[in-house]
């Protein structure tokens, strides 16, 4: 199993290209199931989750072809992938494929909308909480689907097709918003989704569906209206830059000091996190083509943070921010409100010398003057990268084990950090 070895202590200087967002690319790829035409996506990151979803979509009959290898080799932005689902050859998404990642469950929406039936294994994904699917089931039932859980599968049907309805999410869910929005595009009549997720990835998906002929308004607000249409057609759509990768590298610079331009990053996708970072003493300057991040030798100020649905502070940056706070000049409180088990990095950061105690869903982080390198274990995607950036700031050698988590969500991580002066290498096997 691959490991990442880091020798910490170097400030970061240079330019890091920001990749297309994993969490935007995945639902866009799934949207290809809604049409027999070709959906072309630009700026698709090269990640294990994307490759896995290609396999899952292939099982349903989606063909794909990839361009852009040359640009990628030259450090350019992502790949262009054409997805074509001429016909759906199988409406079952089997356990072996779906159990590896959460988002694969989302095929249930388009399959039901287009084929009026779906049999989808209950999902896997990062082990950061129980992650139920009740909202998907309730929402799709509101659109007229019959759904039962049988032997670990959601078995769904909608004879005669889905029918538009009003559905108010009892809790904000990104995935359930994606799925209901996709399902409603081909339903009869109007669907109104209330208390919908407002994440930029939802807006990216709505823009994509509209480019395919859907009639969606209000994405990015809590109320989304979808007027069902008879069919969708092909389109060409750009995956938005990854705001979590952006925030992660910004926090790395805040930890190590230095100056880095995050090329292609969009400040409007993570205003809240950038404001919080400014509060720690990090200079953040939006540029035309990205964001500049700078921290001089002065210490890191502690800032309290609570994770919230967008536009609040993202749970996917909580672990990285905790890494930063371990070196602050004082105590900070980090409260996780989205996932009940997303503090697995706490004990690993402690191996590097961090002082963190847990009080329910709040971590109390007492800053220390320095971290010291140690062997650590990656437990999930964002926890893994928090250990990498903490390792960059720690004295001496840190080895992060089980890095396959990282490959799900960070494209060319070692290469990007290495180009900015970090000593970081992958040890295979």
Of 243, 256, 143, residue with least CA distance to 202: 243
133 is in an annotated binding site: yes
Spatial separation of the C-alpha atoms in residues 368 and 355, rounded to whole Å: 7
171 is in an annotated binding site: yes
Q: By CB under 6 A, name the one of 16, 103, 253, 334 that touches ligand PEP.
A: 103
Q: Look at the chain and count its residues.
A: 429
Which spans in 119-199 are helix H? Answer: 134-142, 174-185
Q: By CB under 6 A, name the one of 12, 26, 317, 420 that touches ligand UD1.
A: 26
> What's the CA angle centered on 206, arms 201 and 212, to 5 degrees?
130
172 is in an annotated binding site: yes
157 is in an annotated binding site: no
Minimum distance between the CB of residue 192 and ligand UD1, rounded to whole angstroms?
Answer: 19
How many residues bind ligand PEP (CB under 6 A)? The answer is 11
Spatial separation of the C-alpha atoms in residues 78 and 95, rounded to whole Å: 29
Q: Which is nearer to ligand PEP, 129 or 218 (CB)?
A: 129
CA–chain centroid gap for 217, Å, is: 23
Question: HSE of 317 in the Cβ direction (CA atoms, 13 Å)?
Answer: 30
Concatenated DSSP letters of 243-260: HHHHHHHHHHHHHH-EEE
Binding mask 301-330 for ligand UD1 (x = CB under 6 A): --------------xx--------------
According to CB under 6 A, which residues from 393 to 422 bind ligand PEP? 409
**Structure tokens that stand for 15 in this block:** 């330019």
Per-residue burial over 232-249, b if 16 or more Cβ lie within 10 Å, else e, is bebbebbbbbbbbbbbbb
Of 272, 382, 378, residue with least CA distance to 320: 382
Q: Which does 108 bind (CB under 5 to 8 A by kind): ligand PEP, ligand UD1, none?
A: none
The yes-or-no answer on residue 115 being catalytic is no
Q: Which does 173 bind (CB under 5 to 8 A by kind): ligand UD1, ligand PEP, none?
A: ligand UD1
According to CB under 6 A, which residues from 109 to 138 bind ligand PEP? 125-126, 128
Window contacting ligand PEP (CB under 6 A); options: 5-13, 97-105, 245-253, 366-374: 97-105
According to CB under 6 A, which residues from 332 to 351 bind ligand UD1? 338-339
Sign of the Cα pseudo-torsion (90, 93, 96, 100, in order): positive
Q: By CB under 6 A, name the one of 69, 171, 289, 370 that touches ligand UD1.
A: 171
DSSP 278: H
According to CB under 6 A, which residues from 362 to 381 bind ligand PEP? 381
Tokens 């809590």 identify what position?
222
Binding of ligand UD1 at residue 136 (CB under 6 A)? yes
According to CB under 6 A, which residues from 261 to 290 bind ligand UD1? none
Binding of ligand PEP at residue 60 (CB under 6 A)? no
Q: Which residue is nearest to ligand UD1 (CB)?
A: 175
Of 205, 243, 181, 226, residue with least CA distance to 41: 205
Interface ranges with ligand PEP (CB under 6 A)? 23, 101-103, 125-126, 128, 316, 381-382, 409
Interface ranges with ligand UD1 (CB under 6 A)? 23, 26, 102-103, 129, 131-136, 171, 173-176, 315-316, 338-339
Known binding site for UDP-N-acetyl-alpha-D-glucosamine: residues?
Answer: 102, 131-135, 171-174, 316, 338
Catalytic residues: 126
């Amino acid at each position: 199993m691959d490991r990442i070895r880091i020798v910490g202590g170097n400030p970061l200087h240079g330019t890091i290209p920001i990749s297309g967002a994993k969490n935007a690319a995945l639902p866009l790829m799934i949207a290809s199931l809604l049409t027999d035409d070709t959906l072309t996506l630009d700026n698709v990151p090269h990640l294990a989750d994307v490759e896995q979803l290609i396999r899952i979509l292939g099982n349903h009959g989606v063909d794909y072809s990839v361009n852009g290898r040359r640009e990628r080799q030259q450090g350019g932005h992502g790949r262009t992938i054409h997805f074509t689902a001429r016909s759906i050859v199988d409406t079952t998404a089997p356990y072996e494929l779906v159990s590896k990642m959460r988002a694969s469950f989302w095929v249930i929406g388009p399959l039901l909308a287009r084929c009026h039936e779906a049999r989808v294994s209950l999902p896997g994904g990062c082990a950061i909480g129980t992650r139920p699917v009740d909202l998907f089931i309730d929402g799709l039932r509101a659109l007229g689907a019959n759904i039962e859980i049988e032997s670990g599968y959601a078995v769904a049907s909608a004879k005669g097709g889905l029918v538009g309805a009003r559905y108010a999410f009892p809790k904000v869910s990104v995935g359930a918003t994606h799925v209901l929005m996709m399902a409603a595009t081909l339903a009869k009549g109007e669907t109104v989704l209330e208390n919908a997720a407002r994440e930029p990835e939802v807006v990216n998906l709505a823009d994509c569906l509209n480019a395919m002929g859907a009639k969606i308004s209000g994405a990015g607000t809590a109320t989304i209206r979808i007027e069902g249409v008879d069919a969708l057609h092909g389109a060409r759509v750009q995956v938005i830059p990854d705001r979590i990768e952006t925030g992660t590298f910004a926090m790395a610079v805040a930890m190590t000091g230095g100056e880095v331009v995050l090329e292609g990053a969009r400040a409007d996708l993570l205003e809240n996190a950038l404001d919080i970072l400014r509060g720690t003493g990090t200079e953040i300057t939006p540029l035309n083509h990205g964001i500049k991040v700078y921290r001089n030798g002065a210490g890191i100020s502690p800032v309290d943070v609570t994770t919230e649905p967008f536009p609040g502070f993202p749970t996917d940056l909580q672990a990285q921010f905790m890494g930063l706070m371990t070196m602050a000049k004082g105590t900070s409180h980090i409260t996780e409100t989205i996932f009940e088990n997303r503090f697995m990095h706490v004990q690993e950061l402690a191996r590097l010398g961090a002082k963190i105690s847990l009080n329910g869903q709040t971590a109390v982080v007492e800053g220390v003057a320095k971290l010291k390198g140690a062997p650590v274990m990656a437990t999930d995607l964002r926890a893994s990268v928090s250990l990498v950036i903490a390792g960059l700031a720690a004295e001496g050698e840190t080895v992060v084990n089980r890095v396959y988590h990282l490959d799900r969500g960070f494209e060319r991580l070692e290469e990007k950090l290495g180009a900015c002066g970090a000593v970081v290498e992958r040890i295979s096997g």
